[in-house]
């Protein structure tokens, strides 16, 4: 009986060691999980900061590009814009006449009298 009692004491101590080791491992797992959550939160914060920085840099680059574009291609003077607008209006007005002529369906679109009118208009504008 003594040997059974001694064996039970030994098994009881071994059981306590195992339970103690289990608690220690569970605590380590909880700590590791907490560290992983903290690291993940830190990485997420780093990613968000990098995203904001990149967005800011992109806006700065776009602003610099726009600034350079306006230096390279300044806006034309109002007189030039007006002249260009009138030119394209004139082109669109005469496209149907020229189209028919170029397709061989109509005679040359300007007669001699129209040419004189155009010369008079040019002289009056000058």
pLDDT of residue 119: 58
Tokens of 112: 């001699």
pLDDT of residue 105: 85
Whether this model's pTM surpasses 0.75: no
Predicted confidence (pLDDT) per residue in 33-84, tens digit: 999 999 999 999 999 999 999 999 999 999 999 888 888 877 788 999 999 9
Residues 1 and 9: beta-carbon distance below 8 Å: no
Kindly report the backbone phi and psi dihedral angles of residue 37, in degrees, each rounded to the nearest multiple of 5, phi listed first. -65, -40
Q: Which residue has the higher pLDDT, 108 or 9?
A: 9
Residues 70 and 77: beta-carbon distance below 8 Å: no
- Rounded Cα gap, residues 47 and 56, in angstroms: 14
| Residue whose structure tokens are 């005469």 | 94
State yes or no: pLDDT of 112 exceeds 50.
no
pLDDT of residue 117: 59
Predicted confidence (pLDDT) per residue in 12-41, tens digit: 999 999 999 999 999 999 999 999 999 999
- Rounded Cα gap, residues 122 and 109, in angstroms: 19
pLDDT of residue 108: 84
Residues 110 and 116: beta-carbon distance below 8 Å: no
């Amino acid at each position: 009986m003594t040997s059974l009692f001694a064996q039970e004491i030994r098994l009881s101590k071994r059981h306590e060691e195992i339970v103690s080791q289990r608690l220690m491992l569970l605590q380590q797992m909880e700590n590791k999980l907490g560290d992983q959550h903290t690291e993940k939160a830190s990485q997420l914060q780093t990613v968000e900061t990098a995203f904001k920085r990149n967005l800011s840099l992109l806006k700065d680059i776009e602003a610099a590009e726009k600034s350079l574009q306006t230096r390279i291609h300044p806006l034309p003077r109002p007189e030039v814009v007006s002249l260009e607008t009138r030119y394209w209006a004139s082109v669109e007005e005469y496209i149907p006449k020229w189209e028919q002529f170029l397709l061989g369906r109509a005679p040359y679109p300007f007669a001699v009298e129209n040419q004189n009118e155009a010369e008079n208009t040019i002289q009056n504008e000058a």
